[in-house]
Structure formats: C-alpha cells, structure tokens
C-alpha cells in the first residue's frame, strides 16, 4: 500500500505514467485533473491553516490529466525485469520457475547470427537452458519454446512496470490486454 502509485491517463483514457501521491496532489491543486476512476482513494495530508486545521486531499487511484492526447508509437523498453515478468519468471524452455538471479535473456535467433534484440526474439531462460542452447536456434538445439514471445502493448507494459498494482488499476489495465497478455497475466 505504501508503495502504491497512481495511474495517470491522458484525457482520452490512455495510460501515460505511474505517479506518486505528491505528483497527483500537484495535478489536482493545479486543476489539471479532468476526471478520475477507480474505487480506491488515498488520503494525503498537507499544511496547517491559521486555525490549526490540517488540509486533507483525497486522491483517486486512477486519474486523467488535461493536455495533449497525441501519442507517439509505443515501443516498451526491453529490460530484463519486464521480460522476466512478461514470461512469469518461467524458463521458456524447461518451464521451471526461477527467481530473477537465475534467469537470463535468451535470443531465440542468436545475435551473432543476425538475431535482433527485440521483444519477439527474446525469451526468459534459466541459465542452464541458455547455456545448453548456446549459439544455436531452438530447432538446432532440439529445444522447444513453451510460449510464443510477444511485444507488450501499452497496457501490458504499465502492468509490467509496477509490482504494486491495486485491484482497480489492474482491472482497468487488464481490459486492454492482448490475447497473449491475457494468457500470460491471469
Ligand atoms: Zn530452463
């Protein structure tokens, strides 16, 4: 709860950022919040007035802020922590579940053989499987992938980027998950 963040949308309802309570309070005070969603609310306490009363602001768990709704094409950054979360900390070859220390990024087509470092050419692999596969394709190594790698969409990315998502925020993001994402993040 203490680490929970607030999901900021643009006024068209597209996720823009995870923000802190302080950042959300600033947006509200500046009158930049156009609507809010979610069942959960946070209370934030501010300064005292001359009568000794402390100001209290209620913050929504999801808010939409004013401003441009133009968005550039979304490509989620390929970072191991997001990759491992996409693949549910499972080795995509042996199916075992590992902690992050024992996982690695495997390039399905090795980079030394013109494989790209991109979401659709990488999977989570345990160090043992990665070592065994070495500089080969899965076919050459006789190893089969247990799931097809996919590029997280914007909603899936916001899920991957926050480990302390509240239930109402999760419901909002989940409504726009792809078929792949739905399979993975149940
Ligand atoms: Zn493995």
Residue 186 belongs to some domain of the structure:
no
Number of compact structural domains in the chain: 2
- Residue pointed to by tokens 């809010």: 36
| Cα dist from 12 to 7, 16, 65, 131, 147, whole Å | 14, 11, 9, 46, 33
CA distance 177 to 96: 25
Residue 160 belongs to some domain of the structure:
no
CA of 18 to the centre of ligand 1 (A): 33
Residue 45 belongs to some domain of the structure:
yes
Residues 92-142: pLDDT tens digits?
999 999 999 999 999 999 999 999 999 999 999 999 999 999 999 999 999
CA of 13 to the centre of ligand 1 (A): 39
Residues 51-66: pLDDT tens digits?
888 888 889 999 999 9
pTM of the entire predicted model? 0.85
Do 88 and 126 fall within a single domain?
A: yes
Residue 56 three-state SS: strand
CA of 50 to the centre of ligand 1 (A): 64
């Amino acid at each position: 709860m203490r680490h929970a963040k607030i999901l900021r949308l643009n006024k068209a309802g597209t996720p823009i950022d995870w923000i802190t309570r302080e950042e959300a309070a600033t947006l509200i005070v500046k009158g930049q919040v156009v609507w809010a969603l979610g069942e959960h609310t946070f209370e934030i306490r501010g300064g005292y007035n001359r009568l000794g009363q402390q100001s209290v602001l209620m913050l929504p768990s999801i808010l939409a802020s004013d401003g441009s709704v133009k968005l550039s094409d979304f490509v989620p950054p390929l970072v191991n922590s997001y990759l491992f979360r996409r693949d549910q900390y499972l080795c995509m070859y042996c199916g075992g579940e590992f902690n992050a220390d024992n996982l690695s990024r495997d390039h399905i087509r090795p980079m030394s053989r013109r494989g790209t470092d991109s979401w659709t050419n990488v999977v989570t692999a345990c160090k043992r499987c990665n070592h065994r596969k070495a500089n080969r394709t899965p076919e050459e190594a006789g190893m089969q992938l247990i799931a097809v790698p996919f590029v997280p969409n914007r909603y899936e990315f916001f899920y991957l980027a926050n480990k302390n998502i509240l239930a109402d925020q999760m419901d909002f993001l989940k409504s726009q998950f792809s078929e792949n994402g739905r399979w993975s993040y149940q």
